[in-house]
């Protein structure tokens, strides 16, 4: 089996002598695409994740120019998606003044950057206010590159995007990984290539189409693969079970059958839900009943895993040395259908295994269970983590400089 490429093949900030950073204009792509309620940041996890790189550059007297996007403005200026509240919050976290500009290219940006002192930080405006960003327009990327002497990618969560401020800019500046990106790649690579075993993976979520590549790639890599959530019903349907009104993807039934055949031939133990919480209507207050997989009524839909499934998952977790979790096992946004997902979160919190949480809904689930601090590592990636686990090349990573003599 081909190993995933290791992080050591790419240059990081560690590979640049710290003395060389003094006075350098360093453009840092961060992922400050945080959830907002008006001007209030409701979760600053992604901002805090970038602090190590920013603080290192401050300490070594660089001039720091931060780039980020927020939301999906699709090339138009939207006042609600300006980065001004984020600049204020970053100033508090760093305990120093953060300059903020209302654009990310042009003379009005170049002027204040030319006045930057060593150790100062400026946050430029939402890169997606320019349609050229997501088009990966070369001229736009070149204008961004003209602002600095070195580019650092510390935005792992968007490294699967071939945007101008992520991969395009690397055509015009020396480009290395920041500390967050280095850490993410190192941990994900170790989990896939040289984990402590038994290694189990718990994959959930609504649609199997979004994670089918991941499921195929980890067959034979993990010792046990547990699949839950809405995505499990496509596999159960492919096995011939009655799934009632449960969510499934008919166009993937044949692929699901092939996957199930491959699973039988692989070294991976596959576990699908043994029982379900079912309801007649998609309503948090709908009457529930618990049924085995063989007994789902035609007029009911599965919304959570049942106690037999939870017990089976617990048995696997108790023996595991490494656990990767991506995706909820039910409609966890609705409190009455969140039991299975929250139970798994608490099991992981009690486990002695290395627990890797794959960002997105899984991170939200462990936050809801109030066990965030009891996980070994929470990836800041959503799509990027999934694509890495799927074995795909990430444009924001492949475009960074290679180490000439990797160990």
What are the residue numbers of the active site?
Answer: 46, 207, 360, 383
Residue (of 110, 160, 165, 177) closest to 141 by Cα position: 165
SS3 295: helix
| Contact partners, residue 281, CB within 8 Å, separation at least 6 | none
Residue where the block lists tokens 């204008």: 143
CA–CA separation, 346 vs 175, rounded Å? Answer: 40
Distance of CA 38 to the CA centre of its chain: 24
- Kindly write down the DSSP assignment for every residue of 197-221, as one continuous string: SSEEEEE--S-GGGTHHHHHHHTTT
Cβ atoms of residues 202 and 228 within 8 Å: yes
Is the bond into 198 cis (omega within 30 degrees of 0)? yes
CA–CA separation, 189 vs 385, rounded Å? Answer: 11
Taken in order 238, 242, 247, 249, is the CA torsion positive or negative?
Answer: positive
The two three-digit tokens of residue 198, written as one number: 């038994």
CA–CA separation, 144 vs 140, rounded Å? Answer: 6
The two three-digit tokens of residue 58, written as one number: 């401050």
Residue (of 110, 90, 101) closest to 32 by Cα position: 90
Cβ atoms of residues 297 and 244 within 8 Å: yes
């Amino acid at each position: 089996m081909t190993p995933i490429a290791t992080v050591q093949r790419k240059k990081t900030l560690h590979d640049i002598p710290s003395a060389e950073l003094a006075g350098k204009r360093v453009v840092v792509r961060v992922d400050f695409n945080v959830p907002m309620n008006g001007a209030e940041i409701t979760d600053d996890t992604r901002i805090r994740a970038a602090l190590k790189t920013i603080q290192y550059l401050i300490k070594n007297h660089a001039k720091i120019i931060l780039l980020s996007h927020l939301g999906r403005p699709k090339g138009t200026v939207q006042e609600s998606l300006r980065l001004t509240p984020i600049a204020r919050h970053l100033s508090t976290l760093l305990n120093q003044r953060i300059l903020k500009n209302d654009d990310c290219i042009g003379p009005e940006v170049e002027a204040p950057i030319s006045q930057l002192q060593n150790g100062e930080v400026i946050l430029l405006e939402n890169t997606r206010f320019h349609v050229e960003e997501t088009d990966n327009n070369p001229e736009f990327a070149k204008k961004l590159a003209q602002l600095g002497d070195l580019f650092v990618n510390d935005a792992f969560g968007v490294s699967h995007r071939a945007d101008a401020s992520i991969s395009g800019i690397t055509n015009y500046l020396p480009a290395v990984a920041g500390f967050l990106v280095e850490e993410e790649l190192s941990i994900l690579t170790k989990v896939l290539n040289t984990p402590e075993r038994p290694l189990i993976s718990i994959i959930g979520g609504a649609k199997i189409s979004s994670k089918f590549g991941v499921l195929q790639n980890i067959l034979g890599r993990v010792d046990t693969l547990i699949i839950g959530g809405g995505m499990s019903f496509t596999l159960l349907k492919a096995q011939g079970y009655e799934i009632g009104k449960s969510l499934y993807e008919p166009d993937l039934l044949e692929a699901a059958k092939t996957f199930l055949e491959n699973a039988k031939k692989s070294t991976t133990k596959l576990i699908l839900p043994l029982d379900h919480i079912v309801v007649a209507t998609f309503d948090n207050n709908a009457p529930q009943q618990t049924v085995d997989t063989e007994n789902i009524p035609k007029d009911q839909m599965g919304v959570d895993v049942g106690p037999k499934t939870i017990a089976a998952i617990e048995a696997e977790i108790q023996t595991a040395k490494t656990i990767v979790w991506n995706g909820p096992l039910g409609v966890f946004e609705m409190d009455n259908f969140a039991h299975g997902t929250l139970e798994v979160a608490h099991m992981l919190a009690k486990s002695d295994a290395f627990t890797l949480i794959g960002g997105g809904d899984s991170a939200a689930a462990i936050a809801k269970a109030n066990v965030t601090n009891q996980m070994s590592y929470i990836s800041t990636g959503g799509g990027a983590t999934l694509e890495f686990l799927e074995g795909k090349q990430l444009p924001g990573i492949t475009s960074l400089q290679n180490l000439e003599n990797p160990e």
